[in-house]
Amino acid sequence: MKSHKEKAVGGKLTGLIGLGEQVTWQARHLGLSFKMTNKITAMKNPFYFVDEMLNGPFKILHHQHHFTFTGGYTEMTDIFTFKSPMGLIGRIVDFLFLKSYLHKLLAVRNQAIKSVAEQL
Q: Tell me: the pLDDT tens digits for 60-117?
A: 999 999 999 988 889 999 999 999 999 999 999 999 999 999 999 999 999 988 888 8
Cβ–Cβ < 8 Å for 37, 23: yes
- Calculate the CA dihedral of residues 115, 119, 23, 110 and round it to 10 degrees: 20
Q: Say if CB 64 and CB 82 are below 8 A apart.
A: no
pTM: 0.89
For residue range 12-52, what is the model confidence (pLDDT) as tens digits? Answer: 999 999 999 999 999 999 899 999 999 999 999 999 999 99
- Out of 3.30.530.20, 3.40.50.920, 3.30.70.1290, 1.10.1040.10, the CATH code matching 2-119 is 3.30.530.20
DSSP H or E segment with residue 38: strand 32-44
